Every structure is written in C-alpha cells, then in structure tokens.
Structure 1
Amino acid sequence: MNQILLIEDDQEIAKIIQHTLTNDGYNVTWATTGLEGLADFKAARFDLVLVDWMLPEMDGLQVIEHIRLESDIPVIMISARNTEVDKVTGLADADDYLAKPFSLEELKARVRAQLKRWYRYNHLTLPQNIQHFSNGLTIHWQEQLVYLNEAEVNVTQKEYDLLKLFAQHPLELFTKEALYQHIWQQADMDQLHTVTVHIKALREKLGDPVKNPHFIQTVWGKGYRFIGEPL
C-alpha cells in the first residue's frame, strides 16, 4: 500500500482528499501545518506528498525545499493560486501543480501518474553506508556513527543531524533559519543561537577550527556550508 502524506490546513478539503485516496487503496497521513507535515515526513517513509501552498507556520514552498534536502519522491502542490507565475513558482521543486478547485478524478489520475513515473523511471542506487573524507573524518550513515582518525566521536543527535545535512549537501549554503527549521522543526526564530551553539560544539569535537576549517565553513553574514573533501 502506497504511503501518501497530505499537508492541508482546510479540514473540509483535506477530509475529502483523504477519503478519496483511502478508497482508492492508499494509506494517507494528514498534517494541518507546514511544520507538522515536515515532522511527519521525517518520522516515516512516504511514496508521495500532497502539499498546499498556503499553510500555517511554514508555507508549502518551504516544506518542499526541506523535503528536497532528503528525498526526490513525487510532490504535488495543491493551491488556489492558479496564475501562470504561481504555477511556474510552484513547479520549481514540485513535480506537479494542481490548482483548486479540481475534480477528484483528476487528483487520482495525477497521483497514479506520479507514482507510476517514480517507480518506472527512478532507478535509485543506495548511498554507501560508510563515507570517508579527508582530514580523517568517517561517517557511518546507517549506524549514525562518526569517527575522526579512526576514533569514535561522541556527538549528540542534533549534532549528528547537522553533520549529516551538511555532508550530504556539500558546498550548499545553509542559513541559520534554514538549519533551525529543518533540524529543530520550529518556527520560533528567537532561538537561532541554538544553531550557533550546536555548530560550535560539533566543530570542537571534529577539531575543526573556524578560521581554517576542514569541514564546516562559516560564510559570514549568510550561514554555513560543508567543504569536506570526499575520498
């Protein structure tokens, strides 16, 4: 049974979609806010995501951006915004765009089409479980273990999550806001110092100096990026 994540704050629309897709043989998890949907996505495996554009706490575009950091599964944006500019914007990261109001038959057809395309054409290869970087860093992805010069580094879960996000997206610039939303799944931007504290602790454990870093580089005024060289 395919697992579908529905992120929609309109209860009437969400219940209709959930009922329709459930009757069509799918298992549907329903979230009512962007942050709730992102938390659900991180907590379970899904085959497709349906996400509304206008959501509380985090809008659909932001939700898709965070999903794309971890997965290429099909994402269909559903929205009352139906101008050409809106559709082009929504399709920047989404695979399909369904403008409200839409028929339930069209919804089912698009879901089937995206799942069929995903399974037929996406020949995925599993990432290597162990990845080595220059300057002695080794990460065991499945076991969530970090080694420096063959000695295990005792990192917290949040520190590991940060390192994983950085290492799996080398040279990509992450703002503190993006890191806080993605790792802590919170909308309160008053706690951004938490990001700074955890990155500082992670750097100390990796022996990674701020001025001449091997792994995590600070881009002043913008954020952080991973510069470790894979072996």
Structure 2
Amino acid sequence: MLQQILLIEDDFEIARIIKDTLNKEGYHVVLATTGLEGLHDFKQDHFDLVLVDWMMPEMDGLTLIEHIRFESDVPIIMISARNADADKVQGLQGADDYLAKPFSLEELKARVTSQLRRWQRYNKVQQIAEMDVYVQGLKINWATDLVELNDFELALTQKEFALLKVLAQNAGQILTKEQLYLHVWQQSSFMDTNTVTVHIKSLREKLQDPVKTPHFIQTVWGKGYRFIGEIL
C-alpha cells in the first residue's frame, strides 16, 4: 500500500511541483489549497505525513498543525518563505521539521524520507489503547466510537462524540470554545461559541457529569474546558 501524504499549499505552481516530485517517488499525494480544506481532508482519511505551508487562506499553518496535534502525532513538515530563526522556532513548536523556501527537490525528498522512517519506527513500538476505561464507570471504545456509562451505551450525536474525543485525547489541556468549534465544526467564519456551550451541556447530561463537581469535563471559567477523567 502506498504511503499517503497530505500536502496543504495554496500556491498552485509550488503544489504541482511538490506533488509531481513525490508521486514519482512512489507516494500518493492528496492536495488541499486552504487550511480548512486540509483539516477536513486530514479528518476524512489516513495519512503518513503532512506537508503544510505557513501562510494559508481560511486557516494558517500554525493553527492547522495545532488541530492536527489534538488527535495525531503524524509527522508534519512545515514549508514557508519565512526563514528567520524565530520563525523556525515558532514553526517547530508543533511541526517535526521546517523547510524554508526556496528549497531543492532533493532536500524535500530527503526530509520526507527521514520523517517517514522515524514514523515507521515509532509505530512499531507505540501501542494506542483501543479502549479507555475511567473511574466513575465511563468506557470509550476508540475503534468503534462506542461510549458506555456503567455498562449502558450512550446515544451521543456525532458532534458530542467529537467533542468528547478531542477533550479526552488531550486530557488535562484547556481547550477554548473557539478551538473546539473550529476543530469539531471546521468553520472559521460566523463562529458561534454558544453552539459549543449547548453541546457540552447535552454531553454532560448524558455523562451524568455535574457542573460543580465534575468527574469528566471541567469548566475553566473564562478559558474553556478540560477533561479530568481518571483512567483505571
């Protein structure tokens, strides 16, 4: 099976050259031309590596990387015309490598090969739990998207499960309503954070999770929410 690479680049000519080069190397390349399109594509398929430009319409590369990191450790290479040391340091806070424009195609191929090799080694030793079991009777099966509370299946909506997933898989980290809305609804314009509030309320009711003494989802007033469930 061909290794699949997601390329997010809004410059058509650069994107064409990168895609053609990597296709010739035996990779399957999926191209997105905006940040939101790239996030949508990432959520819909499996990728072995992501190449993302910094300056993108709808969602910049740094924000896109942040949302990918909410759910995956897939290798990410940032490509950018910004080549100051400070820019590289900022870019590498979420990305695994930084490729400054202009770059040679040989360097691109070498960086891709290196990151994929590391990813393959990582996957051989990394075991991701298929199911997490928490104190207070919560079970989340990540393979089947099944959620149970005290051995009874919960009828969560798609959005409710997506919220629970991003919170639980980033346990202890405060996620703002804006981050949650962008990640789950994948919309940057007309952002409605009240939608997040309504869905969190419904999710809490189904989890039987009181606001004042929560077992799973804690409100951090003025900041957002974080998952505090304890794994057995």
TM over 0.5: yes
1:34 aligned onto 2:35: yes
Structure 2 partner of 1:210: 211
Q: Secondary structure at the match of 1:123?
A: helix
Structure 2 partner of 1:20: 21
How far did residue 121 of structure 1 move? 4.7
TM-score computed with the length of structure 2 as normaliser: 0.96
Structure 1 partner of 2:133: 132
Q: Secondary structure at the match of 2:21?
A: helix
Structure 2 partner of 1:72: 73
CA contact (8 A) 1:208 1:215 kept: yes
CA distance in 2, matches of 1:125, 1:76: 21
CA distance in 1, matches of 2:128, 2:151: 21
How far did residue 189 of structure 1 move? 4.7
CA distance in 2, matches of 1:201, 1:88: 40
CA distance in 2, matches of 1:123, 1:64: 24
Q: Secondary structure at the match of 2:107?
A: helix
Structure 2 partner of 1:110: 111
Letter in 2 for 1:143: T
Structure 1 partner of 2:56: 55
For 1:99-178, list aligned pairs within 5 A: 99-178=100-179
CA distance in 2, matches of 1:121, 1:208: 36
TM-score computed with the length of structure 1 as normaliser: 0.96
Give the number of equivalent residue pairs: 231
Q: Secondary structure at the match of 2:40?
A: helix
How far did residue 122 of structure 1 move? 4.7
Letter in 2 for 1:48: L
Q: Secondary structure at the match of 1:213?
A: coil
CA distance in 2, matches of 1:197, 1:41: 26
Q: Secondary structure at the match of 1:217?
A: strand
CA distance in 2, matches of 1:211, 1:189: 31
CA contact (8 A) 2:79 2:100 kept: yes
Structure 1 partner of 2:186: 185
Q: Which moved more, 1:99-108 or 1:185-194?
A: 185-194
CA contact (8 A) 1:91 1:97 kept: yes
Which structure 1 segments of 5+ residues have no match? Answer: none
1:83 aligned onto 2:100: no
CA contact (8 A) 1:177 1:189 kept: no
Structure 1 partner of 2:10: 9
CA distance in 1, matches of 2:82, 2:215: 45
Which structure 2 segments of 5+ residues have no match? Answer: none
Question: How big is each residue's C-alpha offset from its partner over 1:41-70, in whole Å with a ceiling of 9 and x where there is no partner?
Answer: 111111111000000111101111111111
C-alpha spacing 1:166/1:121, structure 2 compared with 1 (3 Å): closer
C-alpha spacing 1:122/1:131, structure 2 compared with 1 (3 Å): closer
Question: How big is each residue's C-alpha offset from its partner over 1:133-167, in whole Å with a ceiling of 9 and x where there is no partner?
Answer: 11121112211111111111111011111111111
CA distance in 2, matches of 1:105, 1:217: 48
Letter in 2 for 1:141: W
CA distance in 2, matches of 1:156, 1:107: 42
For the aligned residues, what is the CA RMSD? 1.2
User: Sequence identity, in percent?
Assistant: 65
